[in-house]
Every structure is written in structure tokens, then in C-alpha cells.
Structure 1
Amino acid sequence: MLADIPDLIARRGELSSDKVALEESGRLLTYAELDRRAGQAASLMAERGVGEGDRVAILCRNRIAFFEILFGCAKLGAILVPLNWRMPPSELAELIDDCAPALLFAGVEDEAAADALALPTIGLDRDYEALVARAPAGRWRGQWPAEDIWYLIYTSGTTGRPKGVIYNFRMAMANYVNIGSAIGLTSTDATANFLPLFHTAGINLHSLPTLIAGGRVIVVGVFDAEPVVRLLEGRRLDTFFAVPTVYQALLDHPRFAAAPLDHVRHWGCGGAPLPDALVEHYRALGVRICNGMGMTETGPTAFLADPADAWDRIGSVGRARTLCNARIVDEEGRDVADGEVGDLLFSGPGVTPGYWGDEAATRAAFTADGWLRSGDLARRDGDGLHYIVGRRKEMFISGGENVYPAEVEKVLAAHPAIAEAAVVPAPDPRWGEVARAFILTTSGSTPTPEELHAFCRARLAAYKVPRSFEYVSDFPRTAAGKIRKHALSVAE
């Protein structure tokens, strides 16, 4: 187990001083400059009274300054707390009460929300540049204790109130190994940063590992298909990670299919279930989307399919990565046989030590022998490939039979007129609970409920077929594109 980690950005500044670390709208920042500005950011925070262990909140869209402050917190020993700019001030206030930051950085788009939080604030578009320019680079701790907290990521709250997941330096290094070995990450790689930085994927897939490796991170801001397509057309990207909604948006862009897509060495996907139909569309373009699975609590990389399996084992999330241990167990905690469905557990250096200030939630998340309960139901085939069946909390019983909503959603998503589906249980006087489907259609014709019932019945047992279908214009979503099912009404 690692005890101390050298100041990663100082070391990279020595090894790759003149190489470009970050790029944003034509602005280039070398590794030496990133190290210096991170030191200046640490001095700026210290001048404002921030000390070791204090929390520093940041509320902004993707930008270079985020990474300067992230590494500045590491140098100082402070804990960064990225805030979800999609939340209203009332929800943000709950997170502020939970982590009690000493200082807030805010982008211009989010200054109104920042003002409502009543914290000492530095405007990233008003004050930050002048203040950093005046601050000394300073001399900060040269070693980062592996178990020290680096930042907190609040869970997206698909099932309820967000919790602050602790990220320490050990997790950062484990994720670097897990994702880096999976995609063959090198110091010559360039990747795009557009997933929101209050989400683990925005930081860790693949931006932070790329910076540790000495590659280039191109900051896009917020996702828009046009600038990403331009990067692809310019052969600027070597690795790519996105959630399914981003892959669909790119597919819909008129120039995407004609771009030189073969320049990207690795295409990764996670954060939400990857529809089979989307995989097939990309297969027609010669692109192997490698489906993966992880959690905020796993750092996040846990599973990622190999490119060789991407087309032949559609639906699989592959095998556990290098520093991740995975088990599938029954309700008694015994390992299940291949092909059987059970609860998915994780352990390893990439797993969080727990939740900020919430010992009860931390105890509930782990088994007595230290395995993280993912809440997911999974199965493993005879070749060791894993498949996510659904969430334990989403499974319901209809007439004595287990129904896994993910299985029904996969069938519905195969219908040509359906873009996406969400299945939840609804009370039923005869069967206890039955499936109720919420449907987002494509731009074409809308199938009738009778047509959808017949489509499902031809592919599913009767007890799995939804008894009702509702059509929506969009779904409430998390930052990763997951549907917030608890926000869907199931009232009769």
C-alpha cells in the first residue's frame, strides 16, 4: 500500500516542463506553468485563511482553472468540493451545510447561485487571474499522503439525497492504473474534457489520468457536438470517453460520420446503460465502443470491456480492471456460480474509504469483511465477462417472480421508434406490483401502447411486460445521463 505520493504535478513539471498539459479555446498551458499556477492557487487560498483539511468549494463549468485549483488543494492539503451547477441554490445549500467550505470559487455563469450561498467567494472570471498573478508560487508539501482526502464528489442522487464520496490520493493512483492499463494511456495522448467536473467522470475519465501520464487535456467547457466533431476532424483526439447521451448526440451531428474516426485509438463509455442499438450504429462506422461500469465510490474505473469483445459481446462490461476486485454473491454472501445473478461487490485501492461525515452510510455501504456493496445485480459468463442486470433497489416482484427493469428497458430500446425507456414498479391489486414504462420516442412515429405490449410480449415473459406506457418529452437526469427514476411519478 502506498504511504506517500510525490507531488504529481511538480514531478510532471520537471519531467515534461515544456509539454502542453491543458488547452482551452486556443490557450495553452505547459506542465511547468500548471505546476507554478497550482502553487499560486495554493498561496491564494492560504491568504484567504484556507488551511490543511479545510474544504474549498468550486462552482463552475469546465475550465483550466479547475485543474489549477485541484492541484493547488493537493499542494496545500485542502479538500476540493466540486458543486453541481445544475442544482438550484436550495439544493446546493444542503451540500454546503454538509461540507462547510471555507472558500468558494465560482464561474460567471454561476455567480447568482454562488451569491445565494453566502460564502467568501472568488470569481473565476472577475478576480481569479489578477489574484493568482500576484500570489507567490510558494513552497508546498512535496509528498501527498496516500490516505489524505483530496476531494469530495457528491453522488448524483438517483435514489435520494446526495452523499459526499471521499476521494484520496490512493484512489487517484489506482484509477490511473485501472484506466491507463485498459486503454494503453501514454504521454503522447490527447483527450477531450467536456463531462461536468462535479462528476467523477469529468475529473477521472480521462482527464486526471492523462495529466498524470503527461498527455494533453483539451477543455471544451460544456458538451456540444460541434466542437467535439471539429476535434475529431482535426485528428486531435487519441482517447475518448463519454456517456451514452453524448454518443447519441454525436451520431446525430451531420459531419460526425465523415470524420476520421479511426484516429481515436480507444472509445470508452459508462455512466449509464449503453443501448445495443447505439453499439450497432457505431459498429457500422467501424467504431468499437468499449462498454464499462464503475461507481463514484470505485474511483470510478471498475470494469471496461476489451475492444476485441466490443462487437461480439454487446451488453458486457468486460472484466474487472487491474487494481479492482469484484465478486458476485447471493443473499448469504456466498459466491454464485457463473450465469447466476447476484449482488456485485468491490474491493481494492480504488474504492473510497467512505462518505464525508456520515459513518452510518459508510457502515451500510460495506460488508463486515470490507467489500463495497455496489447495489447492482450482475452475472458473469463462463469466459469471465460481466453483465449488469439491474439495481437491487429497482428489482421488484410481480406475482412471485423477480422483474429486473433493466432487462425490460433493453427490450423496449430495441424498438425502432423508441429512443429510451425507463421501467418502474406500479402497485397492482392482483400481482402486487407490475411494470410501468416511461417512453421517449424518436422523431418518427409514436407506437401505440397496444403495439408496445405486443412487441414486449414477443420477447419477454408475460409477468415482465409493462401494463402501462407513458410518453415523455425527456427524462430527469443526473450529470452522467442516468435517469432519475425516483423523480418519475408512479401514481395511478
Structure 2
Amino acid sequence: MMDIITDITARRAALTPDRPAFHIVETGEVISFAGLDERSARAATVLADRGVGEGDRVAILCRNRIEFFEALFACAKLGAILTPLNWRMPARELADLLVDCAPTCLLVGHDDRQKAETATQTAPLALIDLESEWPTARKVASRHPGRTAWPGDQPWYLIYTSGTTGRPKGVIQTYRMALVNYVNISQAIGLRDGDATVNFLPLFHTAGINLHTLPVLMAGGLNHLLPGFDAGTVLSLINDGQLDVMLCVPAVYRELSLHPEFGATDLTRLRHWACGGAPMPDVLIETFAARGAIVCNGFGMTETGPTAFLMDRDHALEKIGSVGKPQLLIEARVATPEGEALATGKTGEIQFFGPGLTPGYWQRDGETAKLFTADGWLKSGDLGRFDADGYCYVAGRIKEMYISGGENVYPAEVENVLDEHPAVLESAVTGIADEKWGEVGCAHLILRDGQDVTDNALADWCRERLAGYKIPRHFRRATDFPRTAAGKVQKHLLPLPEATT
């Protein structure tokens, strides 16, 4: 069934033409499903008139806005490949990505116009301004007939990885992956016909597109569209009962909890809370649970579409720290580097199998080959274990694990303990070289406003809760950490102790 996908906006326009698909919060504009399809079909003509055809790439550099989704579905109607670019990158890095994906044109928003012009200086590229040229051209364009079907295995868009450890790679996202993700996340959160969510996570990241925006659109629901995250606006939408389901990254949950209106917001008006992109500290889950909001931890990758694991509400507090079970259309195992499945309770690499996996990286055959085991399982690069009930616990990236005195140390476990300290807002633990022990832990800390704590007090806190070899030997303070778009800390960019004042 997944070899062919129907035209999503055309089918929704036929099923629920007058129902709202997007609400642009800043302006109050509401776009129906019929309107979304009309805009996308006209946008397809705009792209086709500029030479875009099947297989061509269309780059886009913008904040969250309706024109992104017009372009996404316009590309689907043409068979072109949308390539969202990370507006947080400097022009030099963007120039490298443009060389890698070789787009026919670049759609750009006003906020990033200057950066786009700089990035295209060495390799001139046609720019289409999303504020002026795009809407004007779309309004006068005729409807493009589009394709009668979207092949499931065909690339729809590319998502460049955040680069926590190195150079970004373009992860191919197919139409089949979008459908599988819809099945996986909708059954996991109990997505209902007409549910509403909010879109603010960056659209160059898989969560910005897929969690929960595309599934909600497929279900005939409403997306409240923000140009970026604003804690006050999100809390207001929740308190007004305008949101049913929502996924946030831990950094967003932290900002919500620190906002002055958090205590006055009725969190129970939102039916399902999910978290992904990075590990959610236990203390943060407990903070929301105390207010009646059960946050369900999840785990997935750009390469898995992304939904793979999600905790069920009934066990979210009983098995706090777990990311749940593999969802309906994906299999997961914990295995050795050679691909041998490990027994319950053993820690190894989390690996995936199923119809929703990426076919690979854009023009990186060597990297694609390294992504899969000999028997076809996708290697996540993350360590984890299953308990006796089939729930998975993620221990962190393989490259983050360090060995102290011959014992494996998983930073996520240490970070969870540090995050429970009343003075600590967030921690990031790395392993660094040590003459005696081989490696020891270095804890980088962001303290809560007005709080202070000594290194000895932190060590004592850990000693009461962890084995001796897991206690960090170094503690460093910071005002923030280098992060990816998903809120993951880029640990390779954290300073070494001798470089920190």
C-alpha cells in the first residue's frame, strides 16, 4: 500500500475543503484545506515556470511561515525535492550545502535575504523572495495539474543533519516515510480528526515538519503557525484550549516552566504532551506531572522519519526516563557493533528496521553504506537497553560514552542526577583524558537564577546517588551550551577544563 501516496492536499481539500488547516497566529489569517491546496497548486506553476522539474532541488531559507508548506506541497505535485536550509548557519556553511544539493532556485524570507545573497556570491543562484515575488507570482499563476500519485520511495525533501559531531549530511525523506510517521505518531498519541497543534520548531529540522504538523494536516486538523517559539504565546494557546496535542524539545519545556504565566496556565487543557529531540530530564517531567501534564518521552532520528519510540501515558511516571516502546510500523533492537541482538537488560546500540527508514544520504554512498548493518538494520549511533517489559532506556550517543578506571560511564545517567540538584538548571557531561583513570567526567552546568553551589557539594550530591567512578572530577559553569536545532547539546564544542575560566 505504501508504494503510492495520494496527493495529500488535494485529498484533504476534497474531504474537508472548508475546515481550517493553518492559523497564522501573528496576523489571525486562517487558511482552509481548499485554500492550502489552491496555493500549493499555483505555487507548483510558479516553480515550473522557473525551470523546476521532477528530481530538481528547491532550496528554502526562512523562518516558520505558510509559504514553506506551499513550497513543500508544490514540490510534491511536481516531483521536485524541497531542501530546507538552517538559517542559524553562517553564509559560508550555507554555501557548502547549496553546492551539495545543487538547487534550481532558492526561496528566501526577508530575515535571511542578506545571508542568502552572501551564500550565493561564489555560485550565483536564482533567488525568489517569499515576501514579495512569491505571493505575487502565486496569485496570478494558474493551477498546476500536478501528479496523479506520489511514488512512496521517491525523495520528497532533504533534511540536513544538525552536525553534533561533524559535517551535515542530507538525509533523504520519502513520501513513504511521511505516511509511516503519520501512522506511528497518530496511533501513539491518539490523534483525532480535527485535532489542533502548534508549529514553531525550526522547519529545517524533522520535528518542525513531522511532529506534529504533517500528521495533523493528514488527519484534517489545525496547525497554529508561529514564526518561532514564544513561551507566552504557547502558554496562552494552551490555556485558551486551542491545542490538543503538542511535541516540544526539552529546552522548550524548560522555557515554559520558567515563564511567569506557567503557574497560572491550565496544562490539563492540552490532551497529549510529547517530548523528543533530546533526553528530557526526570526533574522536568516531574515538574509538569505535578501540574497534571504527563509528558511522554520519545526517541527517533531524522533517518527514521522520525517517530520510533514513544512512552505511553499509563507508564510515563512509573518508568520515568524511558522513551517507551517501538511504535507500530518500526522494529527496534539493541545489538553489538556486529549486529548481534543482545538480551534484555544489556546495553548496546539501538538499531531499527521497517518501512519508514531513510534510503540514505544525499550523494553519500559511502556514508549510506555505513548507516546499515549487513542484515539491513539502521544503526542509530545511540546506546540503550530494554527492560523486561519491553521499554527502552537511552544511555546516550556511543561516542559520548567514556571509560573511567575500566568502567563504562553513560553521561545521560550522570546528567539526570545533576539535573535533580535544586541549584542546577541543566547539565552536560563529557569524558576527558586523565592520567590515572584513563578518562574522567567533566560536568558543564547552567545554574538557576540566583543559585550557587560548590564543586564539593555537587560531588557529594552525586556520591549519594552514583557509583564513585561515575562522579565527575571537574565542574564548570556556563550561561548556555552550543546546541543543535533540536536542543541537543553539541558536546564536541564544549570547552575543555583548561580552556575554561
Query: Which segment is superposed worse, 56-65 or 111-120?
Result: 111-120
**1:123-146 Cα deviation digits (max 9, x unpaired):** 111221111101111211110000
* Contact 1:23 1:64 (8 Å CA) reproduced: no
1:32 is aligned to 2:38 = no
Alignment of 1:418 onto 2:420: no
* Deviation of 1:262 (Å): 1.7
CA separation in 2, counterparts of 1:179 and 1:233?
Answer: 24
Tell me if structure 1 keeps the 8 A contact 2:84–2:159: yes
Which of the numbers 158, 178, 185 marks the counterpart of 1:179?
185
Deviation of the 1:461 alpha carbon: 1.6
Supply the distance in 1 between the matched residues of 2:255 and 2:427 (Cα, whole angstroms).
Answer: 17
Give the direction of change, closer, same or farther, for the CA distance of 1:252–1:491 in structure 2 (3 Å limit): closer
Measure the CA separation in 1 of the matches of 2:378 and 2:153: 17
Q: Is residue 2:75 matched to residue 1:69?
A: no
- Alpha carbons 2:476, 2:497 under 8 Å: kept: no
Q: Deviations over 1:59-105 (max 9, x none)?
A: 11101111111000000110000111111101111111110111111
Instruction: State the Cα distance separating 1:332 from its structure 2 match.
Output: 4.0
405-414 or 248-257, larger mean C-alpha shift: 248-257
Shift of 1:261: 2.0
Indicate yes or no: 2:291 matched with 1:285.
yes
Q: Which amino acid aligns with 2:56?
A: D
CA-CA distance at 1:491 after TM superposition: 5.7
Q: Which residue of 2 aligns with 1:409?
A: 415
Residue 335 of structure 1: how far off its partner (Å) = 1.8
Q: Is the alpha carbon distance of 1:417 and 1:105 closer, same or farther for their aligned partners in structure 2, counting shifts above 3 Å?
A: same
1:476/1:487 contact within 8 Å kept: yes
Q: Within the alignment, does 1:236 sit opposite 2:238 as a pair?
A: no
**Mapped partners of 1:293, 1:81: distance in 2:** 24
Equivalent residue for 1:366, pick from 352, 366, 372: 372
Q: Distance in 2 between matches of 1:332 and 1:8?
A: 40
Rounded to whole Å, the distance in 1 between the matches of 2:17 and 2:334 is 45
Instruction: Give the alignment partner of residue 340 of structure 1, picking from 342, 346, 362.
Output: 346
Please name the residue that 1:309 is paired with.
315
User: Which residue identity is paired with 1:14?
Assistant: A
Tell me the equivalent position of 1:95.
Answer: 97
Residue aligned with 1:388, SS: strand
**Equivalent in 148, 151, 159 of residue 153 of structure 1:** 159
Measured in 1, the distance between the counterparts of 2:262 and 2:136 equals 40
Mapped to 2, the partners of 1:261 and 1:418 lie a distance apart of: 24
In structure 2, the partner of 1:13 is 13
Matched-pair identity in %:
55
Residues 122-161 of structure 1 correspond to what in structure 2 (within 5 A)?
Answer: 122-161=128-167
Match of 1:182, SS state, is helix
TM-score by length of 1: 0.98
- Residues 74-473 of structure 1 correspond to what in structure 2 (within 5 A)? 74-118=76-120, 119-473=125-479
- The Cα shift of 1:258 comes to 2.2
* Alignment deviations for residues 152-185 of structure 1 (CA, whole Å, 9 cap, x no partner): 0001111111110000000000000000111111
Matched position secondary structure for 2:138: helix
SS of 1:116's partner is helix
Which whole-Å CA distance do the structure 2 matches of 1:464 and 1:262 have between them?
38
Structure 2 spans left out of the alignment, 5+ residues: none
Secondary structure in 2 matching 1:271 = coil
- Cα separation, 2, equivalents of 1:3 and 1:402: 44
Q: Is the 8 A contact 2:338 2:373 kept in 1?
A: no
Q: 1:76, 1:141 within 8 Å by CA — same for their partners in 2?
A: yes
Give yes or no for contact 2:60–2:84 (8 Å, CA) kept in 1.
yes
How many Å separate the matches in 2 of 1:471 and 1:479? 22
The answer to whether the 8 Å contact 1:160/1:486 transfers is no
Aligned mates of 1:8, 1:188 — CA distance in 2: 15
- Do the aligned residues in 1 keep the contact of 2:349 with 2:398 (CA within 8 Å)? yes
Three-state SS of the structure 2 residue aligned to 1:167 is strand
Structure 2 counterpart of 1:374, one-letter code: S
Partner Cα separation in structure 2 for residue 57 and residue 491 of structure 1: 40
Report deviation, 1:459. 1.6
2:74 match: secondary structure: helix
Cα deviation per residue 1:180-204 (whole Å; 9 max; x = unaligned)? 1111112210110011100000000
Q: Which runs of 5+ in 1 are unaligned?
A: none
With the length of structure 2 as denominator, give the TM-score of the two structures: 0.97
Distance 2:443 2:338 in 1: 32
Which amino acid in 1 is paired with 2:19?
K
Distance 2:39 2:130 in 1: 14
Q: 2-side partners of 1:252 and 1:485: how far apart?
A: 24
Count matched residues: 492
RMSD: 1.1
